[in-house]
């Protein structure tokens, strides 16, 4: 049964929230603002509070979530988001702060920002960190801005090329292009890793940077990473680490030690601040000394120690590229990430990394007889990329069908059709928070689907069967654009 739009529940005169009476002498709005400046109608719904509660409760019941079950969406690190994070972010001493309060009235907030900057810097082995970017892609964009400023500062503005592997996330080329860089692709080799010879050919005096995801989007560690960084540096370029897959490296290894110059974190992935149905995120960026002068303002700095420690905003950074957020980034997400790191400590961090690897390799080993593993059944890191190529060729069943069929078993599908270099890709990231029992249930479902592909392919191809809607007509969605409620349109009645 579908849930009507909130607009369709509207009844004239109904209202939810109660407001205080006006307790100051009132002057007619027309007199204060002029009749021309006052709107004639405000077409918002008129509903009761109970209408609102039921409506959004019903909507929530039509949504899959980590709290509800396994969410093995590769590259997205859908781990359990501890409830204490939410409690932390709701403390009035954090939630009810204005960003422009005098700094002496927000010393606790600045302490959190400062400590989180420092902890992230340590975790990735770099020199400085900013928390300003609002998402991974925002962090990438910031990094490209800093790379541009760095080369310009050295009189090398001609460096206008960013080299990106063909397996990269789409945000990488989009972020580079946003800064007017030309994007040059490099292919992966037969082992699913950066092809060193192809990289060498791509590198020249016009290259500004190389953007690399490590572990890469095939879930494999770039074993030649030391040579890669050295070669890019020799050509005068910088190396960027897309940190979407940082979960695999926590406490085990650090991008800064490998030679990367700059990276972004996704606090909403690695550090368990929730994804919220698509955001908000925080794409903190860490840099080595070379890029530190270009970080956005302000940074949080500390003077003194112990009880006399004092925190401040540092705006006096003459080479800074400027600001990229209205204020200081997503502070309440920083509180959550701080909470998460403090609840785990150094040993906990390494356990996260190790269990992420163990879980992914377990899924790989158990499913390798049923699905092709991209680039051979070798040790993967925190995620494994399977291919449904064999099912497609033999049974006409695609990765999309298998994804949809998983819904009938109560699981969220893996990421499909990414990375682009793996045909019929199914990218599975179980994360460290799933138990062996949950993984076994998922594996059993995947095996049953593999068998259905052989014996009853139509049940897979027509899936999902148990969801609130079946497959949607995406073509019609584009052809007959319906992007907002308009009263009287027949199909919304």
Partner 1 sequence: MMAAIGIQDFQELLAPIPASVQLKEGLALPPALDEYNLVRHLQALAGKNDDLEANLCFLGAGIYDHFRPTVIGALQSRGEFLTAYTPYQPEVSQGMLQAIYEYQSLICALTAMDLSNASMYDAATGLAEAGLMATSLTDRPEIVCSSAVNPHYREVIRTYAESTGYRLVEAPFHGLETDLDVLRSIVSDRTACVIAQQPNFFGALDDIREITEIAHRSGALSVISTDPISLGLLNPPGNYDVDIVVGEGQSLGSPMGFGGPLLGFFACKQRFVRSFPGRIVGATVDQQGRRGYTMTLRTREQDIRREKATSNICTNQALIALAATIYMCELGKNGLHGVAELCLQKAHYSERILSAIPGVTGMPAASKFFKEFVITVPGDPAELNRRLLKDKIVGGLPLGPYYPEMANSMLVCVTETKSRADIDRFAASLAEQIRA
Using DSSP bridges, classify how beta strands 207-213 and 161-165 pair: parallel, antiparallel or unpaired.
parallel
Q: Should residue 45 be labelled a site residue for partner 1 when binding is judged by CB under 8 A?
A: yes
Angstrom distance (rounded) from CA 425 to CA 391: 12
CB 289, min distance to partner 1, A: 19
Contact set for partner 1, span 234-273 (CB under 8 A): 251-254, 257-258, 266, 268
Cis peptide before 465 (omega within 30 of 0): no
- Which residue, 440 or 454, is less far from partner 1 as judged by CB? 440
Q: Which residues have CB under 8 Å from 10's CB, separation 6+?
A: 45, 46, 47
CB 465, min distance to partner 1, A: 10
Position among 150, 240, 418, 442 found at the interface with partner 1 (CB under 8 A): 418
Residues 415 and 424: beta-carbon distance below 8 Å: no
Contact set for partner 1, span 92-131 (CB under 8 A): 92-102, 104-109, 111-112, 115, 119, 122-123
The DSSP line for 126-160 is: -SEEE---SSHHHHHHHHHHHHHHHHHHTT-TT--
CB 484, min distance to partner 1, A: 4
Contact set for partner 1, span 186-215 (CB under 8 A): none
Angstrom distance (rounded) from CA 314 to CA 302: 10
- Which residue, 158 or 436, is less far from partner 1 as judged by CB? 436
- Which residue, 132 or 454, is less far from partner 1 as judged by CB? 132
Residues 432 and 82: beta-carbon distance below 8 Å: no
Indicate the angle between helix axes 171-178 and 136-153, nearest 10 degrees.
40
Position among 413, 426, 428, 453 found at the interface with partner 1 (CB under 8 A): 413
- Which residue, 109 or 453, is less far from partner 1 as judged by CB? 109
Q: Which residues have CB under 8 Å from 455's CB, separation 6+?
A: none
Position among 86, 156, 204, 441 found at the interface with partner 1 (CB under 8 A): 86
Angstrom distance (rounded) from CA 249 to CA 227: 19
Angstrom distance (rounded) from CA 405 to CA 227: 43
Dihedral (C-alpha) 230, 235, 236, 240: value to the nearest 10 degrees? -50
Q: How many residues does the chain have?
A: 493
Q: Which residues have CB under 8 Å from 122's CB, separation 6+?
A: none
Q: Should residue 277 be labelled a site residue for partner 1 when binding is judged by CB under 8 A?
A: yes
Position among 333, 384, 386, 388 found at the interface with partner 1 (CB under 8 A): 333
Cis peptide before 280 (omega within 30 of 0): yes
Contact set for partner 1, span 168-187 (CB under 8 A): 169-171, 173-180, 183
Position among 313, 350, 423, 457 found at the interface with partner 1 (CB under 8 A): 350
Tokens at residue 10, please? 């509207």
- Which residue, 6 or 198, is less far from partner 1 as judged by CB? 6
- How many amino acids of this chain bind partner 1 (CB under 8 A)? 198
Q: Should residue 32 be labelled a site residue for partner 1 when binding is judged by CB under 8 A?
A: yes
Q: Should residue 157 be labelled a site residue for partner 1 when binding is judged by CB under 8 A?
A: no
Tell me which stretch binds partner 1 (CB under 8 A): 5-13, 195-203, 204-212, 300-308. 5-13
Contact set for partner 1, span 432-491 (CB under 8 A): 436, 464, 467-474, 476-478, 480-485, 491
Q: Should residue 396 be labelled a site residue for partner 1 when binding is judged by CB under 8 A?
A: no
Contact set for partner 1, span 301-320 (CB under 8 A): none
Angstrom distance (rounded) from CA 372 to CA 385: 9
Contact set for partner 1, span 134-153 (CB under 8 A): 134-138, 140-141, 144-145, 148-149
Residues 265 and 131: beta-carbon distance below 8 Å: no
Residue 340: what are its φ and ψ, rounded to 5°? Answer: -65, -45
Q: Should residue 33 be labelled a site residue for partner 1 when binding is judged by CB under 8 A?
A: yes
- Which residue, 203 or 356, is less far from partner 1 as judged by CB? 356
């Amino acid at each position: 049964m579908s849930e009507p739009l909130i607009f369709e529940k509207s009844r004239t005169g109904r209202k939810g929230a109660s407001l205080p009476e006006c307790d100051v002498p009132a002057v007619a709005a027309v007199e204060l603002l002029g009749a021309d400046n006052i709107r004639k109608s405000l077409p918002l719904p008129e509903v009761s509070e109970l209408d609102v509660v039921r409506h959004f409760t019903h909507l929530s019941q039509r949504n899959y979530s980590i709290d509800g079950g396994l969410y093995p969406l590769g590259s997205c690190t859908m781990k359990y988001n501890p409830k204490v994070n939410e409690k932390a972010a709701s403390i009035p001493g954090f939630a009810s702060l204005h960003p422009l309060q005098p700094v002496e009235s927000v010393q606790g907030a600045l302490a959190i920002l400062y400590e989180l900057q420092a902890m992230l810097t340590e975790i990735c082995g770099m020199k400085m960190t900013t928390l300003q970017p609002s998402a991974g892609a925002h962090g990438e964009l910031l990094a490209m801005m800093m790379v541009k400023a760095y080369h310009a500062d050295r009189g090398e503005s001609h460096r206008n090329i960013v080299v990106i592997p063909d397996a990269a996330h789409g945000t990488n080329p989009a972020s580079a292009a946003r800064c007017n860089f030309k994007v040059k692709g490099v292919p992966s080799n037969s082992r699913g890793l950066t092809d060193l010879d192809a990289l060498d050919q791509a590198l020249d005096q016009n290259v500004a940077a190389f953007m690399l995801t490590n572990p890469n989007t095939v879930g494999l560690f770039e074993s030649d990473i030391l040579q890669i960084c050295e070669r890019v540096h020799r050509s005068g370029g910088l190396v960027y680490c897309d940190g979407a897959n940082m979960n695999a490296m926590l406490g085990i290894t650090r991008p800064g030690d490998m030679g990367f110059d700059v990276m972004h974190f996704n606090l909403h992935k690695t550090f368990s601040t929730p994804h919220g149905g698509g955001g908000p995120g925080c794409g903190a960026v860490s840099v080595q000394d070379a890029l530190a002068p270009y970080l956005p303002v302000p940074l949080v700095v500390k003077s003194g120690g112990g009880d006399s420690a004092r925190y401040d905003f540092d705006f006096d950074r003459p080479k800074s590229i400027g600001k990229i957020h209205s204020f200081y980034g997503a502070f309440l997400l920083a509180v959550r990430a701080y909470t998460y790191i403090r609840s785990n400590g150094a040993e906990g961090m390494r356990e996260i990394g190790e269990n992420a690897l163990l879980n992914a390799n377990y899924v790989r080993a158990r499913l390798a007889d049923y699905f092709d593993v991209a680039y051979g059944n070798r040790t993967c890191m925190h995620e494994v990329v399977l291919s449904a190529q064999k099912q497609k060729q033999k049974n006409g069943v695609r990765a999309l069908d298998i994804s949809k069929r998983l819904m009938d078993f109560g699981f969220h599908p893996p990421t499909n059709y990414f990375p682009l270099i793996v045909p019929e890709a199914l990218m599975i990231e179980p994360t460290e928070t799933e138990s062996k029992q949950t993984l076994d249930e998922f594996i059993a479902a995947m095996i049953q689907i593999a068998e259905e592909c052989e014996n009853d392919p139509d049940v897979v191809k027509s899936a999902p069967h148990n969801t609130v809607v079946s497959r949607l007509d995406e073509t019609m969605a584009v052809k007959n654009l319906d992007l907002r409620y308009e009263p009287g349109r027949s199909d919304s009645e």
